[in-house]
Structure 1
Amino acid sequence: MASLQLGSSGAAAAAAKRGLPSFDGLRLSPSALMASSPLGVCGVGLDKRCFRGLVVKAATVVAPKYTSIKPLGDRVLVKIKSSDEKTTGGILLPTTAQTKPQGGEVVAVGEGRTVGKNKVGISVQTGAQVVYSKYAGTELEFNGSKHLILKEDDIVGILETDDVKDLKPLNDRVLIKVAEAEEKTAGGLLLTEAAKEKPSTGTVIAVGPGPLDEEGNRKPLTVTPGSTVLYSKYAGNEFKGADGSEYIALRASDVMAVLS
């Protein structure tokens, strides 16, 4: 930490002349600030020179000389949908407020993988509109557009419409319509939005074909559409439907019980 030293008004004036924060009879030690600063010689007088070379790129840029990308194994190349730059009311959003897109179009697929003695192909085809896990894969800048290369298992489902209720889950994923939060306590007191308990129950809308076993065959899921289930509170990917309803897509292993 920077040390504090008591000094005279003359010392405070000298500190002010050097651009250091000062108070009546109190000053910050320049040597201590320099020693504690992670920017070394930049010290407290930060300027643009201090940040030269500190450039962070959001995506790996593929050089223009490469005209195609062929994913290997069970990987898939997805062209990311652009973020909405305006709200539904037409207000322009700053970059920091734009929601990260979680969907895109499959533009190339790998040859699949071998499970046991069987060759298992990719379950999505080029042209499919898919939804994927929020922080999955590696972003690429290719042909002027943002792409994502990720494993097939990171794809949550296929969505050919604009409403998440039509999502077709893949593998062991389950789509659940989340139960609405209670508006009142058991004693009848009205709850504020902040006080409402996040629900962890809902109705199963759709299920995937199931995971692969050791021989590469699908194992059907034990949960079925229409079931009311209890699931892990912070699992999966949350979405809002066109009618404002909340949905969550998660793995079947995150479903803890069926309620009846």
Structure 2
Amino acid sequence: MATSQLTASMISSRNLASFEGFRLSSLQFPSISHLRMDTLTQKSFPRFVVKASTVSALKYTSIKPLGDRVLVKINEADEKSEGGIILPTTAQTKPQGGEVVAVGEGKSVGKSKVEISVKTGARVVYSKYIGTEVDFNGSKHLILKDDDIIGILETDEVKDLKPLNDRILIQVAQAEEKTAGGLFLTDATKDKPSIGTVIAVGPGSVDEKGNKRPLSVTPGNTVLYSKYAGNDFKAKDGFDYITLRASDVIAVLSQ
């Protein structure tokens, strides 16, 4: 790339017009000895102006979700295992819970207006890997749709979860530990249970008129559900729980 060189003989008042619009930073001076310092004065360079600029990151004081979206402050991931071992970032479980800090105005279904199912301040559980993560007020937040929220959980006990919309909370049946021939099964060979007892149900999904449609299962039902559906939880009481949509329930079982 060619380099422009200026010498004292090249700079005169009659030549300054040809330098209009140039910035000083765009000119290179490979050898300062070629210039007489007494010629480099503001009077000699009436159109040369050096300006300094700074770039500031924009800071927002509020975020207002639109439509049926909700802004949730994400719970901090545990930095220690149950045995007290510090976990690296890659080993930390992705948080699935947080506190609602703002809600949208709801959505329209037909001619009806459906409000958001949660209020500001509620502690909620949501599906993994959904929404848009943002940094706000020094904390990580998530903007997600109301329908992506599984339920409200105000305690540390999964069995206290209040499912939302068409979600169902199920206590998973224990996996068989023996084969038909009496052999004990290892964890790796146990089939994932697909039977459980309904603990709680949501108010139902919204129909085309904006009304809630009650679910076809009730607490206490023993149900068969699709494998690998929903969100799994390991509770403090030693049981496994799962939340899934009513459409993932295949049948109600009875003896």
Using structure 1 for the length normalisation, give the TM-score: 0.75
Could you tell me which residue of structure 2 aligns to residue 188 of structure 1? 182
Secondary structure of the residue that 1:108 maps to in structure 2?
strand
CA distance in 2, matches of 1:87, 1:132: 22
Counterpart of 2:238 (choices 223, 235, 244) is 244
Return 5+ residue gaps in structure 1 as ranges: 1-62
Pair 1:130-2:124 in alignment: yes
- Taking the aligned partners of 1:171 and 1:101, their CA distance within structure 2 comes to 22
Query: Structure 2 stretches of 5 or more lacking a match?
Result: 1-56
Deviation above 6 Å: which 4+ runs of structure 1? none
**Hey, what's the Cα distance between the residues in 1 that align with 2:60 and 2:111?**
35
Matched, 1:208 2:202: yes
Counterpart secondary structure, 2:90 = helix
Measured in 2, the distance between the counterparts of 1:244 and 1:79 equals 28
1:234 pairs, out of 228, 237, 241, with 228
Superposition pairs of residues 112-191 of structure 1, within 5 angstroms: 112-191=106-185
Q: Deviations over 1:106-140 (max 9, x none)?
A: 00000001111111111100000000000110100
- Contact 1:211 / 1:220 at 8 angstroms: preserved in 2? yes
1:106, 1:128 within 8 Å by CA — same for their partners in 2? yes
Tell me which structure has the larger Cα radius of gyration.
2
How far 1:64 sits from its partner (Å)?
5.1
* Letter paired with 1:225: P
2:65 corresponds in structure 1 to 71
Shift of 1:197: 1.1
Q: Deviations over 1:190-244 (max 9, x none)?
A: 1111111111110000000000000100000001100000001010000011112
Per the alignment, residue 225 of structure 1 pairs with 219
Q: Distance in 1 between matches of 2:58 and 2:100?
A: 21
Deviations 1:74-106 (A, max 9, x none): 000000001000112211001111000100000
Query: Can you list the C-alpha shifts for 1:35-83, whole angstroms capped at 9, x where unaligned?
Result: xxxxxxxxxxxxxxxxxxxxxxxxxxxx552100000000000000010
Deviations 1:122-165 (A, max 9, x none): 11000000000001101001111000000000000000000111
How far off its partner does 1:170 sit? 0.2
1:93 aligns with 2:72: no
Task: Write the distance in 1 (CA, Å) between the matches of 2:249 and 2:208.
Answer: 22
Q: Distance in 1 between matches of 2:150 and 2:120?
A: 16
CA RMSD in angstroms, aligned pairs only:
0.8
Residue in structure 1 matched with residue 3 of structure 2 by the alignment: none
Which of these residues, 100, 103, 110, is aligned with residue 109 of structure 1? 103
Q: Give the secondary-structure state (helix, strand or coil) at the position aligned to 2:213.
A: coil
Structure 2 SS opposite 1:242:
coil
- Structure 1 Cα separation of the partners of residues 181 and 59 of structure 2: 68
C-alpha separation in 2, matches of 1:64 and 1:226? 53
C-alpha contact (below 8 Å) 1:64/1:143 kept by paired residues: no
Counterpart contact for 1:103–1:132, Cα < 8 Å:
yes
Per the normalisation by structure 2, the TM-score is: 0.76
Distance 1:138 1:251 in 2: 22
